Amino acid sequence: MQEYSQQQSGAEQLTVAQAIANLQQQSDTGLRYYAAWWLGRFRVNEPAAIDALLAALEDEVDRSPDGGYPLRRNAARALGKLSDRRVVPALIGSLSSSDYYVREAAAQSLEMLGDRSAIPPLVKLLAGGVEAATQVPGKPHLVQPYEAVLEALGTLGATEAIPQIQPFTQHPVEKVQFAAARAMYQLTKEEIYGKRLIRGLQAEKLPLRRSALMDLGAIGYLPAAEAIARAGVENSIKLISLKGLLEREIENSSSDSLTLSEPSIQVMKIMDSLL
Amino acid sequence: MTNELIQAVERANSSESLFTAVRELAAAREEEGISTLIKILGYNNPGAAIAAVQGLVELGEVAVPALLEQIDGYDYGARAWSHRALAKIGDPRALDTLIEAALSDFALSVRRAAAKGLGSMNWAKLADEEVLPSQTKALETLLKVCQDPEWVVRYAAVVGLEGLAVTQSEFQSKISAQLQQIIDTDEELTVQARAKLALEQIQN
């Protein structure tokens, strides 16, 4: 879990105009890469910033040794944070990039933007099902960013894609199973998928336990509260996950004014004990 | 006996054996084990650290001077655990340390542990005339911590304020006003909800 300092190591000294100019110049790739991140980090959703990021999504200059597009990756990530739906078609285009990490960033950003027109192109990345979802030889990733795609489909409410998503709950990679279970819970509200994630809290490897914890928070699965508190993971992450449970419960139980249900009080008591 | 337990901690060569050794050392509740228990807070092993914190908390005030002396300025993980132990013991000798941590530690896990602790000090350990001034310092600190940029630290400040309001009735109207303001304006639903719960607890 990363800790954030209160001072952002001088980053705020960059101005919006400077960041956009840095992004538009082509001689210093480091400056461009940083500017793209910065515009997303500080959520600069001005038209000029968005135009510059859209241009960066087509960049040909910044290439990694293996043919990847580092600037495009950062631009795609930033565009997800700016809540401007006019970037959706460009991000959909990035789903067919030759660079795995651009495709992954685009799927994550499309999830954040919440535009259902992304559903069919996202489902296309699941083509071939679990059998086709294999490791790329010599790379640390599968052929497609399945986790990001499945999570996006769940968040976007893609009930029409349930037949394509469901088989991924049996994928050999556990993180992919979690992502599929998370999406299936969001789409069906069936307990078995929430329980699958609770079992994930017992995973042997810490990153997997963290991942299950974050998924439970994302779906706001209330019956997981006690299991989250007991999981072998840092309190910081447990608190974020429980916050997800609490907010989902409040949204479901409150009408217009803030009212506290018995379960939401229980979740807060658990959170208090983890401070 | 204690020496053997300390050696077992030092010999531990797996996460599992460390956890077992720490738990046994903690259960022994021997003052000689304090320094070793504090060292464990810096091992970046949450299971062992939880057991060590529990041991230190059970030892209580005898562990406070060593905890205050051995706070690790370079390891925020260890620092968060020692502040959690100090907060749980609640010995008012830790007041200034907790105030400083709540306001200015760069690590949010340290700030949140300190903020919670400020609301649950064992004030009865102070001389009568020191109680109100010390509580006032804690109150002023927590009111500032309500502006922390991290939601979880503001959440902890609310928990701290609730604790203070329950023990010091003179603060109730001021704290209630602050909580109402959080309910109305905090940008995080979770923090608003905790402030609402605190307000209900205070009024009951």
The whole-number average pLDDT for the span A176-186 is 97
Is the pLDDT at A104 greater than 60? The verdict is yes
pLDDT of residue B113: 92
- Distance between B36 CA and the closest CA of chain A, angstroms: 22
A19-62 per-position pLDDT tens digit: 999 999 988 999 999 999 999 999 999 999 999 999 999 999 99
Q: What burial letters (b/e) apply to A224-261, b meaning 16+ CB within 10 Å?
A: bbebbbebebbbbbbbbbbbbbbbbbbeeeeeeeeebe
Residues of B in contact with A240 (CB under 8 A): 152
Of A3, A258, A272, the CB nearest to B192: A258
Per-residue DSSP letter, B3: H
pLDDT digits (tens, 9 = 90+) for A216-256: 999 999 999 999 999 988 889 999 999 999 999 999 887 77
Q: Say which residue the tokens 């819970």 belong to.
A: A185
pLDDT for A16: 93
Under DSSP, is residue A79 helix (H, G, I), strand (E, B) or coil?
helix
- List chain A residues with CB under 8 Å of B193: 246, 250, 258, 260, 264, 268
What is the SS3 assignment for A139?
coil
How many angstroms away from the CA of B165 is the closest CA of chain A?
A: 16
pLDDT the model gives residue A232: 86
Q: Which of B76, B149, B197 lies at the smallest CB-CB distance from A265?
A: B197
Query: DSSP H helical segments within B90-171, as ranges?
Result: 95-104, 108-118, 128-145, 151-167
User: % helix / strand / coil in chain B, to the nearest 5?
Assistant: 80, 0, 20
Mutate to test the interface with A, among B81, B120, B152, B159 (most CBs of A within 10 A): B152
What's the pLDDT score for residue B1?
Answer: 66
User: pLDDT for A90-102, tens place per residue?
Assistant: 999 999 999 999 9
CA angle B162, B168, B172 (to 5 degrees): 60
Best B14, B111, B190 residue to mutate vs chain A (most A CBs within 10 Å): B190
Please tell me which residue, A190 or A232, carries the higher pLDDT value: A190
Of B94, B2, B77, which Cα lies nearest the Cα of B39?
B77
Q: Which of A6, A235, A275 sits opposite B159 (nearest CB)?
A: A275
The amino acid sitting at A30 is G
State the pLDDT at residue A196.
96
* A268–B112 C-beta distance less than 8 A: no
> What does the pLDDT average to over B164-190?
96
Rounded Cα distance, A220 and B157, in Å: 24
What per-residue confidence (pLDDT) applies to B3? 85
Tell me: the pLDDT tens digits for B128-167? 999 999 999 999 999 999 999 999 999 999 999 999 999 9
Of residues B108, B183, B200, nearest to A4 (C-beta) = B108
User: Whole-number mean pLDDT of chain A?
Assistant: 92
Q: Is A258 in the B-facing interface, judged by CB distances under 8 Å? A: yes
Axis-axis angle for helices B151-167, B128-145 (nearest 10): 150
A187, two tokens: 């789409």
With a cut of 90, say whether residue B179 has pLDDT above it. yes
Mutate to test the interface with A, among B15, B196, B199 (most CBs of A within 10 A): B196
- Give the confidence band of A148 by pLDDT, cuts at 50, 70, 90: very high
> What ipTM, to 2 d.p.?
0.87
- Chain B residues closer than 8 Å to A251 by CB: 189
Q: What is the pLDDT of residue B75?
A: 85
Confidence of residue A131 (pLDDT cuts 50, 70, 90): very high
Q: Which residue has the higher pLDDT, A205 or A267?
A: A267
Please identify among residues 211-250 of chain A the ones whose CB lies closer than 8 Å to any CB of chain B. 232-236, 239-240, 243, 246-247, 250
**Does A156 have pLDDT greater than 80?**
yes
A194-207 pLDDT, tens digit each = 999 999 999 988 89
Rounded CA-CA distance A96/A103 in Å is: 7
Q: How far apart are CA B184 and CA A262, in angstroms?
A: 22
Average pLDDT of chain B to the nearest whole number: 92
